[in-house]
């Protein structure tokens, strides 16, 4: 069967089941699975065996029942890295690439050299690995409570040939107790607990609750991060955090109470204050 006609079939299946961008998702499912690019797809001369076509039909059906596309293709592109994902690990979001960009900009101001960077709640390892790739002389530690997530992170390091990232399992700061860092980054769980049930079904029913749940006010992790941050940051250390919609004021207040002097928010594509940066 021709790959392009498969994309058309899947688009139709997606359209009928009410998926918002049926054409784009069908294209991503097929190209993601066959690991071909769009140009190759639209050149129109790629065939696929019948069993492959059947396999794609099965995945398309799972997609119509609400599984996230990225779990079906098994990977996403994040800051140019191929990050493997699946059930049990949060799918990296485009906003989080802004965190990486901002971290790169601020870390660069420190100059290169053997810096030590920490990524709390690392999940798939996407942030830690993007920074490790960008700063080959740095050592990047990624911490997460989930063993399963860390299996992905470790696999992602190997798949991208990155050797300056180390992953440790445990509760927030515990695994790096006594260490100090030039830069701490985190995209912690920050969704208000009662709002989780209002999220899209792809997120609510399939992504790990623990990666989303920020407690009753969504701020549990920020409070714990700020409480300990001064003990773990070196002089001139930087902290960079992703925040949820409407959380900027609360985070500024936590930063001020902690004694941070210079802090700022970067807005995302939608104009939401999304990336918090601060120096002690």
> Toward ligand GLN, which CB reaches closer, 32 or 244?
244
Distances (CA, A) of 37 to 42, 46, 231: 9, 11, 47
Considering the complex, state which of residue 53 and residue 240 has its C-beta at the smaller distance from ligand GLN: 240
Nearer to ligand GLN, 12 or 217 (CB): 217
What character string, x for contact with ligand GLN (CB under 6 A) and - otherwise, covers 177-196?
----------xxxxx-----
How is residue 79 annotated by DSSP? Answer: T
Whether 83 contacts 92, CB under 8 Å: yes
Quickly count: other Cβ atoms within 10 Å of residue 34's Cβ: 17
Question: Which residue's Cβ lies closest to ligand GLN?
Answer: 190
Contact string 84-123 vs ligand GLN (x = CB under 6 A): ---------x------------------------------
Q: How near is the Cβ of 112 to ligand GLN at its closest, in Å?
A: 29
Cα 157 from Cα 160, distance rounded (Å) = 5
| 204 binding ligand GLN? (CB under 6 A) | no
CB of 91 to ligand GLN, least distance (A): 9
Q: How many CB atoms lie within 10 A of CB 229?
A: 24
- Euclidean distance between CA atoms 85 and 190, whole angstroms: 20
The pattern of x and - marking residues 209 through 228 that bind ligand GLN according to CB under 6 A reads ---x----------------
With respect to ligand GLN, which residue has the nearer C-beta, 32 or 188? 188
Strands 139-144 and 116-120: parallel
Q: Does 71 bind ligand GLN (CB under 6 A)?
A: no
H or E, element range at 81? strand 81-84
CA–CA distance from 142 to each of 165, 270, 274 (Å)? 7, 28, 21
Q: How far apart are CA 17 and CA 63, in angstroms?
A: 10
Q: How far is the CB of 136 from ligand GLN (least distance, A)?
A: 27
Residue (of 21, 124, 30) closest to 81 by Cα position: 124
By the rule CB under 6 A, 276 interacts with ligand GLN: no
Which of 30/229 has CB closer to ligand GLN?
Answer: 229
List interacting residues with ligand GLN (CB under 6 A): 93, 187-191, 199, 203, 212
């Amino acid at each position: 069967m021709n790959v392009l006609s498969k994309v058309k079939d899947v688009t139709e299946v997606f359209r009928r089941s009410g998926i918002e961008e049926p054409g784009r998702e069908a294209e991503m499912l097929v190209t993601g699975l066959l690991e071909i690019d769009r140009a190759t797809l639209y050149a129109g001369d790629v065939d696929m065996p019948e069993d492959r076509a059947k396999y794609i039909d099965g995945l398309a059906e799972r997609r119509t029942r609400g599984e996230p596309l990225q779990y079906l293709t098994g990977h996403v592109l994040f800051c140019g890295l191929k990050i493997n994902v699946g059930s049990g690990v949060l799918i990296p979001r485009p906003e989080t690439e802004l965190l990486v960009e901002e971290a790169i900009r601020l870390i660069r101001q420190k100059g290169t050299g053997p810096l030590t960077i920490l990524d709390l709640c690392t999940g798939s390892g996407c942030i830690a690995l993007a920074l490790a790739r960008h700063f080959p002389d740095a050592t990047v530690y990624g911490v997460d409570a989930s063993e399963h997530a860390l299996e992905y992170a470790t696999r992602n390091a190997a798949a991208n040939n990155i050797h300056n990232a180390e992953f440790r399992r445990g509760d927030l700061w515990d695994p790096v107790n006594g260490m100090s860092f030039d830069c701490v980054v985190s995209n912690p769980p920050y969704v208000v607990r009662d709002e989780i049930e209002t999220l899209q079904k792809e997120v609510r029913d399939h992504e790990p609750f623990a990666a989303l749940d920020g407690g009753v006010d969504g701020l549990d992790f920020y409070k714990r991060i700020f409480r300990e941050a001064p003990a773990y940051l070196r002089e001139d250390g930087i902290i960079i955090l992703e925040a949820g919609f409407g959380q900027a004021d609360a985070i500024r207040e936590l930063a001020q109470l902690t004694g941070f002097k210079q802090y700022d928010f970067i807005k995302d594509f939608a104009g939401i204050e999304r990336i918090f940066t601060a120096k002690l």
